[in-house]
Structure 1
Amino acid sequence: MKSLFRKKDVASILENNKKASLNRTLGAFDVTLMSIGAVIGTGVMVLTGLVAARDAGPAVVLSFIASAIVCIMVALCYAEFASSVPTSGSAYSYIYVSMGELVAHLVGWSLIIAYTVSTATVAGGWSSYFNTLLHEFGIILPKSLITIPSQGGIVNLPAIIIVLFVTFLLYRGTKESKKVNNFMVIVKLAVIILFVGVGAFHMDTTNLTPFMPYGWSGVFAGAASVFFAFTGFDAVSTSAEEVKNPQKNLPIGIITSLLVCTAIYVVVCLVLTSVANYTQLNVADAMAFALQSVGQGWAASLLSVGAVIGITAVMLAYSFGGSRILYSMSRDGLLPKKFSVLGEKSHAPSAATVVIGLAAALMAGVVDLKQLADLANITLIAAFLLVAISVIIFRRTHPEVERGFRAPFVPALPILTACFCLFLMFNLSKETWLYFGIWIALGLIIYFAYSRKHSTLNQDESKNISA
C-alpha cells in the first residue's frame, strides 16, 4: 500500500533540472505571452457567445469574474510550486512530490485528456472563424466537410488541418514555435482592441435586459463552463525546464497574464452582450457575428482574420502542455518510454507531440465543441483542486525548499480555493461527470497493469533491495 503513495525526491528533481536536456529558450516576456496566448482565445472569441446564449445571458460577465477569482487563487498556488519545483509536468509533478505516485498518475492522466480535448475544442472555434472568413471571399466549403456528424455533416476538416499544422510547428521545437506564438498573440490582442473599439459605438443597453435571465444558477453554470477559458497558465507551467530562470520568470508570467486576461474578458463580455442580444449568440464566432449584426462587415472580416491567426496560439499552448505532461510521465516510467524520446534536431518530445496532435485532430473533426469544453473543465478543475491542497502538504513536508514565490494566506487560501473548485465541478452536468469517471477508471487500470511496475521509483526500490 505504501508504494502507491511513494514520492519523488525534490532534491533529485532540482539536480536533474540543472542538467535538463530540453533547451532553455523562454524568458519572462515569452512566458507571459505564451500564457496570454493560451488564455485569450477560445474563451473570449468562442465560449463567450455560447455561454451567454445557453447559460448566463448578459450576466456571462459575472461568470467570467467568478471563474477569474478562482483561477487567480489557483495561480497563486501554482506560482509557489513553479518557483520551488521548476520541472516539466506542471500539476502532475507538483502532486508527485506532495501526494505520491498514484494520485500524481491520475492527475497526469487527466491533464493529458484535458489538454488534448482543449486543443480540439479550440480547433472547432477556429474552424468557425475560418469559414466566416472564406465566406467574405465568396468561398463556400461543402457543409458535410465543415460539420461534425452529430450536426448532420461528415467531418470538420478545417479543424483537423489546423491541429495537424500546430503539431508540425511543435514537432520542429520550442524555439521555432515560440517565435510564431509571440506573433500570433500580438495579432490576437490587436483584434480584441478592434472589436472593443468598433463595438463600443454600437452598444445598446436594452440588450442587457434581462441581465440574469437564468438566475444565479445560470451564472454559476456559466462560470463552470468558462473556467476552461482561464486555464492556459497551467499549460505554461509545464514549460519549466525550457524557461530561463524558472523560479522567477514562471510566477511573473502566470500571475501577470491572468490579471491582464481577466480585464480583457470583462470588457469584451460587456461590449459583446450590449452589441447583440444574448439569444442570438449561440454561435462559435460570436464576436464576428456581433459586428456583422450592426452592419460592420469590414470589421468582422478583419476580426475573423485576426481570430484565425490568434486562436492558433491557444492550440499551440495546449498541445505544448499535453505533450510535456506525456513526456514527464513517460520519463518517470508511468507510460511507455518512447514518449520521452527527444528529436535529434528539435530537442522536443517528438513522439508525445505527434500522439497528442493526432488524438486532438480526430476529436476536433467529429465531436461537439461544448461537450469537449466541459470534459476539459472537469479534469482541469480537479487537478487545480489537488494542487491547492498540495501547497499545504508541501509546506509541511518540505519547509527547507527555497521558494522564489510564496502563496499568501496559507492554509486559508488553498482551502478556500479547493472549496470553490468543488463548487464549480458540481455545477457541471451528470454526463460530464460520467465521462470523467470513465477516464479515471481507465487511468486506474493502466496504473495497476503497467505504470506501478514500470515506475522509475519502483525500479530504484528494486535495485536498492537487490543490492
Structure 2
Amino acid sequence: MGIWSKKSITALRAEAASSEGGLKRTLGALNLTMLGIGAIIGAGIFVLTGTAAANFAGPGVSLSFVLAGLACLFAGLCYAEFASMIPIAGSAYTYSYATMGEGVAWFIGWNLVLEYLFAAATVAVGWSGYFSAMLDTVGIHVPAAFASAPLTVENGHQVVRAFTCVNTNTGGVLADAATKIAFATREACTAAGGNAVDGLINLPAILLILALTMLLVRGVQESATFNNIIVAIKMVIVLLVIGFGFMYVNTDNWHPFIPEMVTNSDGSTKYGMSGVLRAAPVVFFSYIGFDAVSTAAQEAKNPQRDLPIGMIASLLICTVLYILMSLVMTGLAPFQSLGVAHPVSAALEAVPQLKWLENLVNIGAVAGLSSVVLVMLMGQPRIFYTMSRDGLLPKIFAKVHPKYQTPAASTWIVGLIAIVIAGFFPLGLLGELVSGGTLAAFATVCIGVLVLRKRSPELERPFRTPWVPLVPIMGAGATLYMMYQLPKLTWTLLGVWTAIGMTVYFVYGMGNSKIGKQDKASGAK
C-alpha cells in the first residue's frame, strides 16, 4: 500500500491501447530513430571527444567510446524490453512503478526532471554560445550583456557575477588566442585589450526554448519533422568531417595509440589503459538522451516494434559516428591540442585543405544542440503527463490540447521553467546533476528487468533483453560505477534534490495517488 503500491502490467497495457482523450499516434520507427539521434548527437561529438582525448585517453579515446557505448547498449536493451511491454509515455518512471513500487517510481520520475528539464536549459545555453559565435563570423554581434546569464559558477561551487570579454573595437567576443577559451578573469580580459561586460540575460537561449516550446505544443509530428531536418543537416556535416578528414589523417598522430601513463602535478594520472577507463564515464554523457525515445511511446504507431528499433538503432548509429569522429580528430592533430572549447575546429585547422569545413562545423553544432533541446523539451512534459494521470502531480499536467492532442499545459510549464533557468541562473552546478539523475534511472531500469523476469516470467514480451541476467547486471554495474565517479558536491546536491522531491511526494503525491486510493478502498473492503 502507498509507497510500495505497484501498477498492474495488464492495466498499463490497457491504458496504452486506449487512445480516448490521449496523445496522437503518428510516429514510426524512422521518426523514433531520428529522435534518438537528435537527443544523442550534440555537445558530445563537438566538445567531449577532444576533452577526453587531451585529458585522459589520447587516441585511445575511441576505445572509451566503445566501452561507454556498450554500457549504454546494455541499458538500452533493458529499456527496449520495458518499452515493448509497457508502451506508456512515462519511460523509466512507469517501468519502476510496475516493478518496484510507487516510491521508487516517484524517485526516478523526480530524477528524470534533472535529465530532461535541466538538460534542456543547459544545452540551450551551449547553443547560445555557438549561435552567437556563428553570427560573429558574418559580422552580426549579439550584445554581450544579452547573450549570457547574470550569474555563473567558478571552481565548481562559487557563484559569481558573470561577464563576457568583448573586443572594444569590433564588439565581438574575445578569447585567449592560444586556447580559444573565454578569459577566466576580468584582469586577463583587460590585459588582452578587452572590456568585461556584465551579463544581464541569455536572450538567444530564451528565444530558442520559446520557439521549440511553441512547436511542441502544435504537434509531435510537426516537431518530429523539424527534428528530422535538423538531424539530417548535422549528420551530413559529421559525415563530411569524417569522410574528408580520413583523407588527411596523419597516422603518426595515432602512435602510441594508448600513450604511457603520466602523473599530474596533483598526483592524479592520465593516459595508459587506466586513462581509457577513466575517460569512459566522461564520454558516457555524450549518450544521454537516447531514453527520450521511450517518452514518445504513446505517440508511436506500433510501439511494441518501433520503440526497440528506435532506441537500439540510434545508439548503434551514434556509437559508430563517435568512434569514427574520435579517430579522425586524433589523426588530424596531436591529441594534446584538442583540449579546447572547439576541438573539431582545432583538428581541422591542423590541415589547411580542410579549412572550408570549419563554418559547416559551427552550423552542425548549432543544429545538433537545437535538436537536443527539442527532444529534451519533448520528453519532460510526457513524464509529467503520465505522473499526473497517476495522481502524483496536479491535473493540469495531464491536460491535452483539444486540437493538437499534445500535453500543451505541461509543455508550456516545462518551457517557461527552462526559460527562467537558461536565461538567468548559473548552470555550472547542474551538468553533473543531470548525469546523476540519468544514471540513477538507467540503473533502476536494468534492475527492473531482473525483478520482473523473476516475479512475472509468464508476461508477454514483444522484445526480450538477450542474455539475462548478464546484460541487466552489466548495465546496472556500469551505470552505478559511473555514479560512483561523481564528485562529493554532486552527491550532496543530489541528496538535497531527492529530499525536496520526497517532501513533494509525501505532502501531495501519496495522498492523491490513484493506485494508492484503490489499494485503500480494497483494503477497507
The normalised TM-score by structure 1 is 0.93
Partner residue, 1:350: 408
Post-superposition CA distance 1:253-277 (Å, at most 9, x none)? 1111111111000011121233344
**Structure 1 residue matching 2:403: 3-state secondary structure:** coil
Matched-pair identity in %: 42
Greater Cα offset, 88-97 or 248-257:
248-257
1:380-459 aligned at under 5 Å gives the runs 380-459=438-517
Q: For this pair of structures, how many residues does the alignment match?
A: 466
Distance verdict in 2 for CA 1:205–1:163, change over 3 Å = farther
Map 1:155-174 → 2, pairs under 5 A: 155-174=201-220
Measured in 1, the distance between the counterparts of 2:349 and 2:403 equals 46
Match status 1:300 vs 2:358: yes
Which residue does the alignment assign to 1:232?
A: 289
User: In 2, are the aligned partners of 1:35 and 1:253 still within 8 Å (CA)?
Assistant: yes
Q: Which runs of 4+ in 1 moved over 6 A?
A: none
1:258 to 282, 295, 315: 315
Alpha-carbon spacing, 1:163–1:265, altered in 2? closer, same or farther (3 Å): same
More off after superposition, 124-133 vs 49-58: 49-58
Quick check: 1:323–1:356 contact (8 Å CA) kept in 2? yes
Distance change in 2, residues 1:356/1:292 (3 Å): farther
303-312 or 259-268: bigger deviation: 303-312
Is 2:190 the partner of 1:190? no
Residue 138 of structure 1 is matched in structure 2 by: 139
Q: Answer yes or no: is 1:287 the counterpart of 2:298.
A: no
Distance 1:122 1:217, change over 3 A: farther
User: Given the superposition, is the C-alpha separation of residues 132 and 56 from structure 1 closer, same or farther in structure 2, using an over 3 Å criterion?
Assistant: farther
Question: Is residue 114 of structure 1 aligned with residue 115 of structure 2?
Answer: yes
Quick one: which amino acid aligns to residue 229 of structure 1? S
Between the aligned partners of 2:409 and 2:58, the Cα distance in structure 1 is 43
Distance in 2 between residues matched to 1:76 and 1:280, nearest whole Å: 37
Which structure has the larger Rg? Answer: 2
Tell me the alpha carbon deviations over residues 16-49 of structure 1, each in whole angstroms, 9 at most, x when there is no partner.
1111311000011111111111112221123323
Which residue of structure 2 lines up, in the alignment, with residue 376 of structure 1? 434
Which residue pairs with 2:298 in the alignment? 241
Amino acid at match of 1:195: V
Residue of structure 2 in register with 1:318 after alignment: 376
Cross-structure match for 2:155: none
SS at match of 2:356: helix
> Which letter maps to 2:225?
K
1:6 aligns with 5
Alpha-carbon contact 2:388-2:398 (below 8 Å) kept:
yes
Q: Secondary structure at the match of 1:376?
A: helix
Amino acid at match of 1:14: R
User: What is the TM-score of this pair, normalised by structure 2?
Assistant: 0.83
**Contact 2:96–2:445 under 8 Å retained in 1:** yes
1:206-245 deviation digits (Å, cap 9, x = unpaired): 5556745513554444322322221322101111111011
Deviation at 1:412, TM superposition (A): 2.3
- How far 1:141 moved relative to its partner? 2.5
- Higher-helix-fraction structure: 1
Deviations 1:80-123 (A, max 9, x none): 11111111111100010000000000000000121112212322
The structural deviation recorded for 1:305 is 2.0
Residues 264-314 of structure 1: CA distance to partner in whole angstroms, max 9, x if unpaired?
000111212333444444444432343245444431112222332233211
Structure 1 stretch displaced more, 205-214 or 17-26:
205-214
CA distance in 1, matches of 2:343, 2:214: 29
Other-structure match for 1:337: 395
| CA distance in structure 1 between the partners assigned to 2:119 and 2:16 by the alignment | 28
- Contact 1:225–1:428 under 8 Å retained in 2: no
Q: Provide the C-alpha distance between the structure 2 equivalents of 1:363 and 1:198, rounded to a whole number of angstroms.
A: 39
Deviation at 1:205, TM superposition (A): 4.4
Partner of 2:267: none
Instruction: Give the match for residue 86 of structure 1.
Output: 87
1:46 equivalent in structure 2: 47
Where structure 1 has 5 or more consecutive residues not aligned to the other structure, the ranges are none
Partner Cα separation in structure 1 for residue 317 and residue 119 of structure 2: 21
How far off is 1:69 after superposition? 0.8
Tell me how large the CA RMSD over aligned residues is.
Answer: 2.2
Inter-partner Cα distance in structure 1 for 2:292 and 2:25:
16
d(CA) in 2 for partners of 1:362, 1:437: 23
Contact 1:70–1:420 (CA<8 Å) still a contact in 2? Answer: yes
Distance 1:183 1:301 in 2: 19
Write the distance in 1 (CA, Å) between the matches of 2:420 and 2:96.
Answer: 30
Amino acid at match of 1:355: I
Q: Is the 8 A contact 2:16 2:86 kept in 1?
A: no
User: Is the Cα contact below 8 Å between 1:41 and 1:310 reproduced in 2?
Assistant: yes
1:271 to 296, 303, 328: 328
